[in-house]
Amino acid sequence: MNNTALKNAGPRFDVASVRRDFPILARSIHGKPLVYFDNGASAQRPLAVIDAVDDYERHHHSNIHRGVHALSQEATERYETARDRVVGFLNARSRQEIIFVRGTTEAINLVAQSYARPLLVPGDEILITHLEHHANIVPWQLVCEQTGATLVVAPMDAQGEVHAEAVEALMNERTKLFACAHVSNALGTVLPIGRLIGAAKARGITTLIDGAQAVPHMPVDVQALGCDFYAFSGHKLFGPTGIGVLYGRESVLDRMPPWQGGGDMILAVTFGKTTYNSLPYKFEAGTPNISGAIGLGAGIEYLAGLDLAGAHAHEQALLEVATEALGEIDGLSIVGTARDKASLVSFVVAGVHAHDLGTILDEEGIAIRTGHHCAMPVMDFFKVPATARASFAFYNTFEEIDHLSAAIRRAKAIFA
Amino acid sequence: MELNDLYRDVILDHNRHPRNFGALDPADASVEGFNPMCGDRLTVRLKMSGDCIADIRFEGQGCAISTASASLMTEAVKGQSRAAALALFDRVHQLLTDDAASSDELGKLAALSGVREFPARVKCASLCWHTLVSALKAPEAGLPDAVSTE
């Protein structure tokens, strides 16, 4: 389908109406209407989230699981309702499987320290892929240093695709854990995680999926996937920062020791012995980010009210239009051309460094991410120091992509 | 904020045609500068004649601001004494961060004053200067071989 046909494809997802749900999209930057193409770094919040957090802060705040007083009960009820929404969102079996954490990074570190560290011995292997975010590399390197295990990296190809055969060839009796991204933050590649999880399970390998870049773009069903762990961040899912989720299979979580000790994760403490609380509280030491969880729950509820199939189709149309429009610019190369991609385009422009491009686009009101995207091994693979990345959400428009193309051409003219 | 003020002709010219770019062998001091936030990486190499910078060259990968700043820096400090180069670092640092800083007698380096309106880019312009200072202090500090602006 060509550019024009895509723009006119029906039935249309009602972007104009959805945009009104996100107050920040009405902003101007340097006198120009904001074009927000940095959704992969952090998405914007709808009013539903802003209002839910505001309502909690104004009317219901207290500590949870503590007091018998009304406010504590109201706060607890709202926090636990948010957990129930996450259960539905991921199709987990129960609320015991949903642990609130700060974000994807903390979720992976929790699994590294509480699951992998006690289990691994020298000679064991942790398998990841070449396109991982640093948050799905460094926690495993730490565990390898601590246990003597080895980190094994499955390759990707020149399109930024990870082939299941290549990953499976590296799975063996020493592999104790397989951790990979659902969607690459630097390239947009959607990984064949259904097949990869199946291959790992068949060999008795525990699996963790970094879903930070996937949950804003596609439905996720952890039971259908069959993974042992799935992690994501609230702020990339139109919710607040500082809140995220670790899904863990209950039978696996049960066997793990607590990660952090403190309040809420205990049933009884004496100086001789502490009895840990049941799941999920065993992994939620200390007062959590209550308003963050409530905001995340509101974000999930907001998404449930959207035409998600329409939103997905719109995002894929944005991706196609952007790929075509940017591809027409002389000297522009798209980095990451996998067949199955989420809605983002990473690129470099000959003669214009990504940071200069970022500054020039910002003057036009266009927010993109420039740099290594916390994926330095990906940059090294493609032999670029940095890329520019435009990452889309369902509230972005085709007109905004026209602005992006025009601004890139202006940047080229400055450096011509 | 004006883009023309950031990307002045002098900056664009030195980005397109960086002066004193390439290897210097043998060198008396060689220090790599790295900005982990953006991945900019450059190496500054010095050849000293007594207390004087007899030759200086740089190489690496960076944005236009970082490349032009390094190019302008090598032109400005070549032939200067260690003390004069360190004093120039202080002047440029002020120019990049202080709205009231004067660019009198800074010559072409004055073109860097536009950077201070773009706070996210100050580190791009200052990376090479921090690397130079480190290279100048290398003999007495026991030869560090890397400096970071983070």
User: Please, what's the b/e burial string for A111-136 (b: 16 or more CB within 10 A of its CB; e: otherwise)?
Assistant: bbbbbbbebbeeebbbbbbbbbbbbb
Cβ distance B38 to A356 less than 8 Å, yes or no, reads no
Per-residue model confidence as pLDDT tens digits over A54-81: 999 999 999 998 888 999 999 999 999 9
> How far does the CA of residue B81 sit from the closest CA of chain A (Å)?
33
Residue B148 pLDDT? 63
Residues of B in contact with A414 (CB under 8 A): 3, 7, 12
Please state, in angstroms and rounded to a whole number, the distance separating the CA atoms of residues B144 and B129: 15
Per-residue model confidence as pLDDT tens digits over A267-294: 888 888 888 899 999 999 999 999 999 9
% of chain B with per-residue pLDDT over 90: 73
* Total domain count, chain A: 2
Partner residue opposite A371 with nearest CB, options B6, B7, B39? B39
Cβ distance B65 to A379 less than 8 Å, yes or no, reads no
A41 found inside a domain: no
A312 and A251 in one domain?
no
A139 found inside a domain: yes
Tell me, yes or no, if B7 comes closer than 8 A to chain A by beta carbon: yes
Cβ distance A415 to B1 less than 8 Å, yes or no, reads no
Tell me, yes or no, if B6 comes closer than 8 A to chain A by beta carbon: yes
The boundaries of the domain holding residue A329 are: 3-33+307-415
Q: Which residue has the higher pLDDT, B138 or B129?
A: B129
Cβ distance A376 to B39 less than 8 Å, yes or no, reads yes
Residue B145 pLDDT greater than 80, yes or no:
no
CATH number of the CATH domain containing A192: 3.40.640.10
CATH number of the CATH domain containing B122: 3.90.1010.10
ipTM of the complex: 0.89
A70 found inside a domain: yes
Partner residue opposite B61 with nearest CB, options A356, A385, A414? A385
A40 found inside a domain: no
Structure tokens at B127: 């990376």
* Total domain count, chain B: 1
Please state, in angstroms and rounded to a whole number, the distance separating the CA atoms of residues A276 and B78: 67
Within 8 A by CB and 6+ apart from A158, the residues are: none
Residues of B in contact with A354 (CB under 8 A): 38, 63
Domain boundary among A285, A304, A323: A304
Q: How far is CA B4 from the centre of its chain?
A: 21
Which residue among A144, A180, A227, A374 is the active-site one? A374
Cβ distance A385 to B40 less than 8 Å, yes or no, reads yes
A226 found inside a domain: yes
- As a whole number, mean pLDDT of residues A145-170 equals 98
According to DSSP, the residues that pair with A247 across neighbouring strands are A98, A230
Residue A30 pLDDT? 95
A270 and A137 in one domain?
yes
The boundaries of the domain holding residue B38 are: 3-148
Residue B142 pLDDT? 46
Least confident of A8-17, A325-334, B91-100: A8-17
Rounded-to-10 torsion of CA A283, A288, A289, A295: 70
